[in-house]
Every structure is written in structure tokens, then in C-alpha cells.
Structure 1
Amino acid sequence: MQYRNGQRLPLEGGGALRLSVNPRARRLSIRIDARAGEAVAVAPSERRLGEVVAFARTKAAWIAERLATREETQALEPGAVVAWLGRSVRLEAVGGAGAARLHETPDGPVIRSGGEGEAFARRVENWFKRAARDFLTARTEVHLRTLGQKPVRISIVDTRSRWGSCSPHNRSIRYSWRVVMAPPEVADYLAAHEVAHLVHADHSPAYWSVVQRLVGDHRPHRRWLRDHGAALHAVGR
């Protein structure tokens, strides 16, 4: 059977498998897209999609278990409590259509926003994107200076798989805004991770030594994203 990039296949036990071609992938892999509620099979080329489908079928029980236990969606709505750089922040609605703003109160930080329903959620998400840009830009600049690197162009996006990506050839870095909900040391690690790719484009021991120079032991931060990343991706969906 001929498979194609983006194709969705039914899985035994329920759920769907989405086929994805990533030329940068070094191996066949399966991941869970918590927001879409499906498994994603990744291959480095379209001609190897048949191999990754066969691999996914051997992992059907694991995939079903992961899909069944994925994080529940957390809406960005009044009364919700979300995280910002490791702090708990309550969301509050105010009259009008004003932009979301952070307020420090005796009971802790609060994000107050105008709008209703989707408009409220969109304003709150925009606040998080601005907060992510501010924090990640500042930490990126620190790590660039440490390595003697020139400035880069920074974009804030909402990716489903990667927390960030670096393109050394055009000196650009993309970050998922959702990482700003993680503790600050984890978000800082992400900035170091991407800046280090300006020195080494791979994940060789030499690359990880650069990351360690920037943030010390990076393993706890990688583990945190692996253990809690699905919860961050569930926010606002």
C-alpha cells in the first residue's frame, strides 16, 4: 500500500494514526499529539512511511494506553488557574474588550481580560505569547552573548511537537509560547538548547557540552518537559 504524508489511519483499539514526514528525523518514531487526540508516526521520507506504519502496529497497545490517559483539555476561561513561569495565575473576566493584563494581588497573580468566550481565551493566549517573547528574547540574548554569537530573529509559535527549533543558516529561532508556563529554569533551558544549535546543528556530545556550559545539568529540565509537556499542550484546547 502506498502511504502519503498527512494521511490518517484507524488504529486497533480506537484512535487515529497520522503519518508525518520529517526529513530531519534520524529514525522512525511514534509520538502522542495530546491536543489532537491522535498518535503521530514520523518517518524521514515518504518511502519509509510503510515501515513506520508497521512499527506503529506493534505499539498499538502502548498507543491506546497513552491516548486513554492523555491530559484533559483546560480551557482559558474565567476562574481557571494556569501556570506562568512556574507560578499559579488565576484568570478573571472584566467588562469591555480590553487586552489581558497581569495584576499582582495579595492572593497572588491574576490575569484580567475583557471579551467573552473565544474572545476572552484569545486575549489571554495573546498575553502568554507576549510574555513568552519577553522572557525567551531576554534569555536568548544572554546565551548569545555567552557564546559570542550574533543576534538572531525570534518567532513565537504554537507547535504541536517541538518546543523550539533553530535554523542556523538564516539565524532564526522559533519557540512555542507554551514553554512560558513551565518553571523559569525549564524555559531558560529551551533558550539555551536552541542557541546551542548555532554552534552545533546536531545533538552530538559536543552539542550537549555547549548546553551544559550555558545551563549546567540539563537533564532535569528535559525530564520536566517530557513529564509535563502534555499538560501544557492541553491548555486552551
Structure 2
Amino acid sequence: MKSSQPYRTGQRLPLEGGGELRLSVNPRARRISIRIDGRRGEAVAVAPSERHLADAVAFARSKSDWIAQRLTARPAGAALAPGAVIPFEGGSIRLEAAPGNGAARLVEGPDGRRIVSGGEGEAFARRVTNLLKRRARDRLAERTEVHRTALGQGPVSITINDAGTRWGSCTPRTRSIRYSWRVILAPPPVLDYLAAHEVAHLVHADHSPAYWSVVNRLIGDPRPHRAWLRTHGAALHAVGR
């Protein structure tokens, strides 16, 4: 009788080339796939059901060299500390310390913009993160409103989070949209694309040609923005790690 290893979603396995493999089940997945979670520094094998996890493990092990290369090449973390320069709205911005425990604020000056914050260590980083989240919410709420009005859609609720790999998600049934605050680190057209991407799901819940036609109607060709996120997304997820 042929035996098989009982795998389960969420399980982690060591890889021969180094690093870990996390198993994940996504019922919407059409095929087995491997992705790199730069935030956690691990590979993720995705299967449409638990009975396909063994095939996903075998596929991942056949790609162990590629996985090891991708994990090694992922960007190093960038601490949110005084003196650090981080990406911000398509450019870069310097973080500066201020006396006391005041909240972080965006300062415009002759030398450009900078983020100035009170606090030390983790408190400083937390204040800077809170400012970035507020900025992300303001910009995303604005662009969401523009796109949902253009489509004749009613109000939606917006949540700002820090998802591991997803930039956003939409639940049409509850009319709720979730965004990663880290998109405020990207150029404004990329942020606008993300808002259009999620709002378009209010019309089509899938990624069919009809769905992409709606996105195209809102912002034009989305492919450059998708490519930007694929190329630079891992670096944005490394900020503050």
C-alpha cells in the first residue's frame, strides 16, 4: 500500500537549499504555485486543496535552488530610526528625531521634506509608522472616492493594515476594502492603480477580462504599475523590519 505524508495548511518544512517552506491552501487557486514572502523570509507553496499539498511540496523541492536564490536576494530590513532615509510617495524622505514624545509630523523645508518625530527606539518607529498609516488612509480614501464615483458605486468602508504580501483586497458583499499602508511608499500613480484595482472588484469580483476592462477605463493600462509593484514591492515590505 502506498503511503503519503499528511500535510496541512500552515505547516512549515525545511528546504534543502536553506530557508523554510510554508504550506497554504487557497480554494480559488487554479494550480499549484510558489511565492516568496519577503516579509517573513520564507517560501509559500499554494495549493487549491489540502489533498494537493503533497504535490505542492514536491514542486517546491524541485525548485529549491530557485527558492534559495530568491530568499538570499530579498532586500534587507530598513529600521525606522533617526537618520534613516526611506522611500515615500515615489521619492525618499529622511527621518529626524525631535526632543520629547511628540507625534511624527511631515515637515516641508528648503531642503525638501522630512519626517520629524519624538520618542526613542520602538516609540520613534511607532510614531513614524502611525504617520505613514494616516497619510496612506488619506490618499487611498481620496482615490477610492474618485474611482467608486466614476463607476456609480455607493460608499465603501476602508481599512488600513499591513498584510504580508497583499497590497489590497475587496469584499463586495460587505462593501469593504483593505489596503496595505506601505503603498504610500510607492509613486502616487501606483497608489492610484491599487485604489482602482480594488474598487473595480465592486463590479467584478474576479480577474476576468471584463474586470481588467473596468480597471483600464479608470486609469488606463495597469501593467506598468503592476510591474512596479512586482519589482519594488519586496523593498517596501522591508521598511521597518
TM range (shorter): over 0.9
- 1:188 partner letter: D
Q: Report the counterpart of residue 166 of structure 1 in structure 2.
A: 170
Who is 2:45 aligned against? 41
> Structure 2 CA distance, aligned partners of 1:81 and 1:38?
26
The 10-residue stretch of structure 1 (225-234 or 38-47) with the greater mean CA deviation from structure 2: 38-47
C-alpha distance after superposition, 1:97-119 (max 9, x if no partner): 11110000111111011111111
The separation in 2 between residues aligned to 1:117 and 1:50, in whole angstroms, is 44
Range with greater deviation from structure 2 (184-193 or 11-20): 11-20
What does 1:71-86 correspond to in 2, within 5 Å? 71-86=75-90
Q: Distance in 1 between matches of 2:86 and 2:110?
A: 17
Aligned to 1:118: 122
Letter in 1 for 2:154: K
- Pair 1:225-2:225 in alignment: no
2:148/2:199 contact within 8 Å kept: yes
Amino acid at match of 1:215: I
Equivalent residues in 2 for 1:82-93, closer than 5 Å: 82-93=86-97
Compute the displacement of 1:22 (Å): 2.1
**TM-superposition CA deviations, 1:199-232 (whole Å, max 9, x none):** 1111111100000000001100000000000000
Q: Which residue of 2 aligns with 1:23?
A: 27
Alignment partner of 1:177 is 2:181: yes
Letter in 1 for 2:153: Q
- Residues 1:128 and 2:168 are matched in the alignment: no
Deviation at 1:35, TM superposition (A): 1.9
Cα deviation code 1:104-143 (max 9, x no counterpart): 0111111011111111111111111101100000000000
Preserved contact between residue 39 and residue 165 of structure 2 (Cα < 8 Å): no
Residue 21 of structure 2 aligns with an amino acid whose one-letter code is L
Q: Please name the residue that 1:103 is paired with.
A: 107
Q: After TM superposition, give the deviation of residue 145 of structure 1 in Å.
A: 0.5
Which consecutive residues of structure 2, in runs of 5 or more, have no partner in the other structure? Answer: none
User: 2-side partners of 1:17 and 1:105: how far apart?
Assistant: 47
How far residue 186 of structure 1 moved from its aligned partner, in angstroms, is 0.3
TM-score, normalised to structure 2's length? 0.96
Aligned length in residues: 237
Question: Per-residue deviation at 1:33?
Answer: 1.1
Question: What is the CA-CA distance between 1:44 and the residue it aligns to?
Answer: 2.1
TM-score, length-scaled by structure 1: 0.98
Aligned-pair RMSD on alpha carbons?
A: 0.9
The answer as to 2:69 corresponding to 1:62 is no
User: Deviation at 1:46?
Assistant: 1.9
Q: Which amino acid aligns with 1:73?
A: G
Write out per-residue CA displacement over residues 145-170 of structure 1, whole angstroms, 9 at most, x where no aligned residue. 10000010100010011100000011
User: How far apart in 2 are the matches of 1:191 and 1:118?
Assistant: 30
Q: Match for 1:170: what amino acid? A: T
